[in-house]
């Protein structure tokens, strides 16, 4: 595992001995990888320039969300959660500009045992919409989660008004499973969501899963 940041001893102790290699996924037009501390300025730039665009469809952010200190800690936590099989957060770049964050693809709430499932969330820069980039990014990420992390099921929800997300998920094979009332607080209000999932048809137990 390669991390650029050589910060507090506690973080280095936390990841000592962990050896899961952070994935780097490359497609025709997008590159997906986890963040290191050197990416914090690019991450902040991404969220700041999209603040007004994301606000109507995002949960309320903590007051320090757009600060370097907050994101340095967040990058630490995301690295540790990947190593401990709790989550995986990709940051999306164009292959012709690997220093500018244009999106995120995150898998959270890993559950093993008899469920073998996680939740999917994603977002794309306002000025990169309509180019098929998120479809490519999600295809790469889902393949990794199914093949390398051996998840059986990935769940995703979207606002009923979000036709773009509905199209993306449908194109990837997600199946609508239900309609949840007041499912999630979005920008301070409880909002209904349409619930979908994608199942790994080739799943087989490995190691401790057997």
Question: In terms of pLDDT, which residue wins out, 206 or 76?
Answer: 76
Separation CA 194–CA 196 (nearest Å): 7
| Token reading at 58 | 């995002």
pTM, 2 dp? 0.89
Tell whether the model's pLDDT for residue 121 goes beyond 80.
Answer: yes
The whole-number average pLDDT for the span 75-96 is 97
Residues in the chain: 210
For residue 146, give the DSSP letter. H
Q: All domains of the chain, ordered by start, with CATH? A: 20-209 (3.40.630.30)
- Please state the φ and ψ torsions of residue 25, each to the nearest 5 degrees: -115, 125
**What's the pLDDT tens digit per position in 37-84?**
999 999 999 999 999 999 999 999 999 999 999 999 999 999 999 999
Q: What is the pLDDT of residues 156-205, one digit of tens each?
A: 999 999 999 999 999 999 999 999 999 999 988 999 999 999 999 999 99
d(CA 197, CA 175): 5
pLDDT band at 120 (very low <50, low <70, confident <90, very high): very high
For position 17, what pLDDT does the model report? 45
Q: What is the arithmetic mean of pLDDT over 91-111?
A: 97
Three-state secondary-structure class, residue 140: helix
Residue 44: in which H helix or E strand, if any? helix 40-49
């Amino acid at each position: 595992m390669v991390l650029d940041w050589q910060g507090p001893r506690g973080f280095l102790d936390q990841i000592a001995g962990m050896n899961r290699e952070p994935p780097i996924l490359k497609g025709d037009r997008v590159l997906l990888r986890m963040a290191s501390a050197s990416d914090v300025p690019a991450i902040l730039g991404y969220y700041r320039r999209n603040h007004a665009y994301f606000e109507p469809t995002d949960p309320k952010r903590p007051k320090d969300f757009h600060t370097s200190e907050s994101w340095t800690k967040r990058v630490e936590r995301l690295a540790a959660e990947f190593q401990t099989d709790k989550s995986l957060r990709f940051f999306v770049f164009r292959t012709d500009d690997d220093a500018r964050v244009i999106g995120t693809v995150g898998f959270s709430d890993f559950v093993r045992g008899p469920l073998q499932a996680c939740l999917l969330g994603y977002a794309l820069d306002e000025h990169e919409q309509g180019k098929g980039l998120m479809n490519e990014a999600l295809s790469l990420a889902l393949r990794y989660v199914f093949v390398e992390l051996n998840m059986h099921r990935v769940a995703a929800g979207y606002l009923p008004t979000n036709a773009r997300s509905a199209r993306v998920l449908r194109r990837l094979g997600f199946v609508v499973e239900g309609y949840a009332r007041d499912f999630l607080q979005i920008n301070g209000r409880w909002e209904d969501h349409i619930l979908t999932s994608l199942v790994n048809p080739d799943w087989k137990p490995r190691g401790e899963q057997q």
